[in-house]
Amino acid sequence: PAAIHLTDYAPPQWRIEQVDLCFLLDPADTRVRSRLQLRRTVSQEAPLVLQGEELKLISLTVDGQPMASGNLHQDENSLTLHELPAQCTLEMETAISPEANTALSGLYVSGGNFCTQCEAEGFRRITWFLDRPDAMTLFTVRIEADKARYPVLLSNGNLTDSGDLPEGRHYVVWHDPFPKPSYLFALVAGDLVCQQDRFTTCSGREVDLRIYVQRHNLDKCDHAMRSLQKSMRWDEDTYGREYDLDIYMIVAVDDFNMGAMENKGLNVFNSKYVLARPDTATDDDFVAIDSVIAHEYFHNWSGNRVTCRDWFQLSLKEGLTVFRDQEYTADQSLRAVKRIGDVQRLRSLQFPEDAGPMAHPVRPQSYIEINNFYTMTVYEKGAEVVRMIQTLVGREGFRRGLDLYFERHDGQAVTTDDFVRAMEDANARDLRRFRRWYDQAGTPVLDVAGEYDAASASYRLTVRQSCPPTQGQSEKLPFHIPLTLALLDSQGREIPLRLEGESQASPGERVIELTAPDHVLVFHDVPEAPVPSLLRGFSAPVKLRFPYTHEELAFLMGHDTDDFNRWEAGQQFAVQMLQGQIHDIQAGREPMLDPLFQEAFARVLDNDTLDTALVAEALTLPGETYLAEQMQVVDVDAIHQARQFTRRALGEALAARFRAVYDALRDSSGVAGEQMDAAAMGRRRLRNLCLAYLCATGEESAPSLAEAQYQAADNMTDAMGALRALMDCPGAIQERSLAHFEARWRDEPLVLDKWFGLQATASDAGALERVRRLMQHPRFSIRNPNRVRAVLGAFAMANPVHFHAADGSGYELITNQVLELDALNPQIAARLVTSLSRWKRFDAQRQGLMRTCLERIVAHPGLSRDVYEIASRSLG
């Protein structure tokens, strides 16, 4: 398969000014009639090239006449029309089979209902079209279907007509007044019910809000509806963005390749990000739903009103919209807790991507299959890049820049460069060097050292930046990096900062702009040797290295005035200790718990002035994938043993305190009385963490404590907290709790996914056999992406000890499933292959085994572009 390059971009030579679509829906044989009003945009003759995939062309006319056969060329994925008049009407009929569409891209059937997914290139699986984001068109959509089976018929925009037809059929017509690219098209048809509410916009317009679900899910929509209303208000208050149609619809479907899709006025969602009741969804689910609902809503401006010129610009809408949803969530609860979660995700998922064979810039330069580039880099690193711009120009300056961006580009398809230019123009700033964040892959490293000179009362920080080579980019130019810092005195107070050349000191923290490979910062009037608090709030997506002593880290854990950095100090301390333990284990020595760490850890547990959610974050050890990131040669077994050892040792040493905190939080834990606010969630989180430590000790009474919690739980957070803790305690209690859960929830797919996932990630012996058994379970289906993610995805990404079993059995299992899945759903198969892509990070034996699997995949006949791209890049 051939790669597509950013440098080959050329604007379309034809415009589709208007399209009328008519769908005659039938699961096996749907007919799509389209009428395109075409206008050539260049003066000389130019062929019209339309894209199509798995389509059967039934008929075609231009201005009502059949085309001369010499002027029409059809091959597998394109339709080329020559010698068209500069302005004309093209009419076509195509036949498609939604029920045979297992790729879940284009028009397909889920749970007996029709739905669509068109981003990035799914529309071409519906009809021939200029399927590119810079081709914006006015859509009018007529849908005809059997009325009893498909009472609800939806598309984008406003409903303009509807009525009955002979033979029990009916029709609707939807018109979207906003021109849009085809990737934002949506159609839904089925037996659905809706929860309805309303929203009055800031200018007083009434918007009809609807969440469509299958009837048995109608009692799980309250939370999503409230989230939608909150996001609409927040975007008005924070960014002055008002909704622009009279209706906003969300549809939940069970079979969906990703989280959700921002189709204009008609979002289609994975039901996982809509449905929630306290007894079926955990606190984390509630928070995730809130943020995905917000994310898709925010796309209405950052994505739909202003969209991408081409798919290389994907981060223009995704990075910006992730940034916006992160800010929204931060405003709903504790900002620092949100930041910690986002940074954990970035470091454990995006940093490895940036250091592996799939590394690519936030604006990639080439791709084979665009669906492979909906990545942590484009989304999460892209959001960090937007956040850095805000740090550089300030919150108000950022708002000015965003206003200018929307004003300038409303109704256009633009580039990340246009976005940066708006920020520059609104703030009179030069961000030329900053643009390198969009073009250079890899995670920059900051090596920082500090030196205090008592005689001159000055403190000297030297900062050196570097960035490791990535595919096709061996040399990197220096990045423009905002480094937020403060200097703390021995009481933990921020020392006023006066840099060399400044006449006056300023209190508080400072944003230092690094633009060169090396910087020397000299601070004056520093009364004592300070402890620097660096990269506060994680002000840039970099790896910071500073030679802190354990004493300094313990000090920062207790005193840093930046909440994020207080947490970060604890993580760094834990990483250092765990690394020592890993060495001990590798050398056959007994690992040890550092008493200084234990003390600092206990002080956090005892600190009742801190928010419980922050305490819980601080007491959570760095994850295994993050620890793996820090090792030259990843040793999954030693990492797991060290982490388990530390959990157990802390649990034993502090058992009485964990128990006391657990008991103290008991009464406030349940959901009775509307306890779904951030404070109650924080308490449940800390309480479940205490339970997990108690269960990690192996102490006899712990499993009964967990079982009692499981049985008494009136909410899924506590039920899952107990079950998760029990995964550390094999035995009768664990077995009967799992069995009870399965029996109780077998008909709730989203809840049953938790049961599958918990077992797929269990680290005790026999994991592989268990995964094989799970795949034989009557409710397992390789066609349902959520279930595949719950079993195979969870095993490959979150069960390192068994996925990387030394005999290669984990790799074999995943490879076989990848190949089976590829024939059905290439997008999901490709995601699974990424688990094999970082083979070079392991020992020689595992390298050989993973490599062999990748070679077997690449050699497989009929492989999709999706899987080919990931597997071949991994080998290259």
Stretch that binds ligand B3K, among 44-52, 220-228, 229-237, 258-266 (CB under 6 A): 258-266
Whole-angstrom distance, CA of residue 373 vs CA of residue 834: 12
Write the DSSP string, 7-23: GG----SEEEEEEEEEE
- CB contact at 8 A, 302 and 317: yes
Q: Which is nearer to Zn ion, 319 or 357 (CB)?
A: 319
- Residues 120-159: x where in contact with ligand B3K by CB under 6 A, - otherwise, as a string: x---------------------------------------
Q: Which residue lies nearest ligand B3K, judged by its C-beta?
A: 119
Q: Which does 261 bind (CB under 5 to 8 A by kind): ligand B3K, Zn ion, none?
A: ligand B3K
Closest contact distance (angstroms) between CB of 834 and ligand B3K is: 14
Largest CA distance in the chain: 96
Q: Which is nearer to ligand B3K, 181 or 352 (CB)?
A: 181
Structure tokens at 161: 């007509």
For residue 657, which of 609, 614, 599, 703 has the smallest C-alpha distance? Answer: 599
Whole-angstrom distance, CA of residue 557 vs CA of residue 571: 9
Stretch that binds ligand B3K, among 60-68, 260-268, 603-611, 839-847 (CB under 6 A): 260-268
Q: Which is nearer to ligand B3K, 283 or 325 (CB)?
A: 325
Among 283, 285, 290, 296, binds ligand B3K (CB under 6 A): 296
Q: Based on the number of CB atoms within 10 Å of its own CB, is 708 exposed (0-12), middle (13-18) or buried (19 or more)?
A: exposed
49: which residues sit within 8 A by CB, 6+ positions away? 78, 79, 80, 81
For residue 323, which of 224, 423, 253 has the smallest C-alpha distance? Answer: 423
Stretch that binds Zn ion, among 34-42, 214-222, 315-323, 700-708 (CB under 5 A): 315-323
How many residues line the site for ligand B3K (CB under 6 A)?
Answer: 12
Q: Which is nearer to ligand B3K, 176 or 262 (CB)?
A: 262
Closest contact distance (angstroms) between CB of 866 and ligand B3K is: 10
Closest contact distance (angstroms) between CB of 130 and Zn ion is: 23
Q: Which is nearer to ligand B3K, 260 or 796 (CB)?
A: 260
Closest contact distance (angstroms) between CB of 839 and ligand B3K is: 25
**Pair type for strands 266-270 and 247-253:** parallel
Whole-angstrom distance, CA of residue 421 vs CA of residue 746: 53
| 371 near ligand B3K, judged by CB under 6 A | yes
- CB contact at 8 A, 159 and 189: no
Count of residues for the chain? 876
| 318 near ligand B3K, judged by CB under 6 A | yes
Q: Based on the number of CB atoms within 10 Å of its own CB, is 410 exposed (0-12), middle (13-18) or buried (19 or more)?
A: exposed
Q: How far apart are the first and last CA of the chain?
A: 15
Q: Which of residues 57-76 bind Zn ion (CB under 5 A)?
A: none
Closest contact distance (angstroms) between CB of 599 and ligand B3K is: 44
| 262 near ligand B3K, judged by CB under 6 A | yes
Q: Which is nearer to ligand B3K, 648 or 831 (CB)?
A: 831
Residue 304, helix vs strand vs coil: coil
Q: Which is nearer to ligand B3K, 295 or 643 (CB)?
A: 295
Cα dist. 366→5, 312, 377 in Å? Answer: 4, 8, 14
Whole-angstrom distance, CA of residue 737 vs CA of residue 723: 7
Q: Would you give the DSSP letter of residue 677? A: S
Is 599 known to be catalytic? no
Among 258, 540, 650, 792, binds ligand B3K (CB under 6 A): 258
Closest contact distance (angstroms) between CB of 103 and ligand B3K is: 11
Among 108, 248, 374, 438, binds ligand B3K (CB under 6 A): 374
Closest contact distance (angstroms) between CB of 382 and Zn ion is: 10
Q: Which of residues 461-500 bind ligand B3K (CB under 6 A)?
A: none
Give the number of other Cβ atoms within 10 Å of residue 587's Cβ: 8
- CB contact at 8 A, 759 and 793: no
Closest contact distance (angstroms) between CB of 370 and ligand B3K is: 8
Closest contact distance (angstroms) between CB of 189 and ligand B3K is: 21
Q: Which is nearer to ligand B3K, 133 or 682 (CB)?
A: 133
403: which residues sit within 8 A by CB, 6+ positions away? 240, 426
Q: Which is nearer to ligand B3K, 305 or 684 (CB)?
A: 305
Q: Which is nearer to ligand B3K, 353 or 568 (CB)?
A: 353
Stretch that binds ligand B3K, among 253-261, 474-482, 615-623, 770-778 (CB under 6 A): 253-261
Structure tokens at 284: 């984390």
Stretch that binds ligand B3K, among 248-256, 257-265, 513-521, 807-815 (CB under 6 A): 257-265
Q: Which is nearer to ligand B3K, 134 or 279 (CB)?
A: 134
Beta bridge partners of 252: 269
Cα dist. 175→32, 155, 246, 259, 367 in Å? Answer: 17, 8, 12, 26, 34
Closest contact distance (angstroms) between CB of 122 and ligand B3K is: 8
Q: Which residue has the tokens 């509806």?
A: 225
| 308 near ligand B3K, judged by CB under 6 A | no
- CB contact at 8 A, 733 and 709: no
Among 210, 223, 241, 295, binds ligand B3K (CB under 6 A): 295
Stretch that binds Zn ion, among 311-319, 443-451, 566-574, 774-782 (CB under 5 A): 311-319
Q: Which of residues 159-178 bind ligand B3K (CB under 6 A)?
A: none
| 20 near ligand B3K, judged by CB under 6 A | no
Whole-angstrom distance, CA of residue 342 vs CA of residue 319: 13
Whether the upstream peptide bond of residue 95 has omega within 30° of 0, thus cis, is: no
- CA neighbours closer than 13 Å in the CB half-sphere of residue 220: 25
Closest contact distance (angstroms) between CB of 120 and ligand B3K is: 5
Closest contact distance (angstroms) between CB of 262 and ligand B3K is: 5
Q: Which does 629 bind (CB under 5 to 8 A by kind): ligand B3K, Zn ion, none?
A: none
| 261 near ligand B3K, judged by CB under 6 A | yes
Q: Which is nearer to ligand B3K, 122 or 442 (CB)?
A: 122
Q: Which of residues 27-46 bind Zn ion (CB under 5 A)?
A: none
| 386 near ligand B3K, judged by CB under 6 A | no
**Pair type for strands 187-190 and 152-155:** antiparallel
- Find how far residue 445's CA is from the centre of its chain: 24
Stretch that binds Zn ion, among 316-324, 436-444, 542-550, 608-616 (CB under 5 A): 316-324
Q: Would you give the DSSP letter of residue 841? A: G
Catalytic position from the list 121, 144, 296, 424: 296
Whole-angstrom distance, CA of residue 357 vs CA of residue 873: 6
Structure tokens at 483: 């480094």
Closest contact distance (angstroms) between CB of 608 and Zn ion is: 39
How many residues line the site for Zn ion (CB under 5 A)?
Answer: 2
Q: Which of residues 200-219 bind ligand B3K (CB under 6 A)?
A: none
Among 30, 48, 103, 119, binds ligand B3K (CB under 6 A): 119
Write the DSSP string, 454-470: TTTTEEEEEEEEE---B
For residue 35, which of 81, 91, 95 has the smallest C-alpha distance? Answer: 91
Q: What is the dihedral of CA 42, 47, 48, 50, to 10 degrees?
A: -140
Stretch that binds Zn ion, among 318-326, 487-495, 620-628, 753-761 (CB under 5 A): 318-326
Q: Which is nearer to Zn ion, 321 or 625 (CB)?
A: 321
Q: Based on the number of CB atoms within 10 Å of its own CB, is 847 exposed (0-12), middle (13-18) or buried (19 or more)?
A: middle
Binding site for Zn ion (CB under 5 A): 318, 321
Contacting residues toward ligand B3K, per CB under 6 A: 119-120, 258, 260-262, 295-296, 299, 318, 371, 374
Active site residues: 296
